[in-house]
Amino acid sequence: MLEVEGVAGCEIESGMNGTFRRLLHGRIDLAAEERRDAFTIYDDAMRAVVTTLHEGDETEGNISVGGIMGFLAGVEEFTARDLEPDMAVEDYRLEQVGASALYARYGLT
């Protein structure tokens, strides 16, 4: 993963879900004392992931990023739903959250 200040560790894997959709899943360990600061780091890390996918070919926006969780002190704290709680998607399972669902948040088109 790209270097993002405040990320203490990162384990992200690529795979396919049950409908053969490409997905990324794993954990981002956040080096912060406060939950508010940890959220900012998670947001920055997800921005790096989504921007990298956006810069790829046009199908990269369909890759699921909902399985990338942010961890503070070893406990799951954040998911893509925390970034966009009112996200308009047909299926609310995290594995269905595509990178393109976060484009507007990060100023991408």
pLDDT digits 0-9 by tens, 35-92: 999 999 999 999 999 999 998 876 766 899 999 999 999 888 899 989 988 776 666 6
User: Could you tell me if 38 and 75 are in contact, meaning their C-beta atoms sit under 8 angstroms apart?
Assistant: no
Report pTM.
0.88
Look up tokens 């925390």; give the residue: 82
8 Å CB contact between 24 and 17: no
Give residue-wise pLDDT tens across range 5-25.
Answer: 999 999 999 998 877 889 999
Neighbours of 19 (CB within 10 A): 7
Over its C-alpha atoms, the chain yields an Rg (Å, rounded) of 13
Within a domain: residue 37?
A: yes
| In-domain check, residue 53 | yes
Residue 24 lies in a domain: yes
Dihedral of CA atoms 56, 61, 63, 66 in degrees, nearest 10, equals 120
Q: Is there a domain that residue 109 lies in?
A: no
How many distinct structural domains can be found in the chain?
A: 1
In a domain, 107, yes or no: no
Single-letter residue type at 84: E
For residue 17, give its domain range. Answer: 7-102
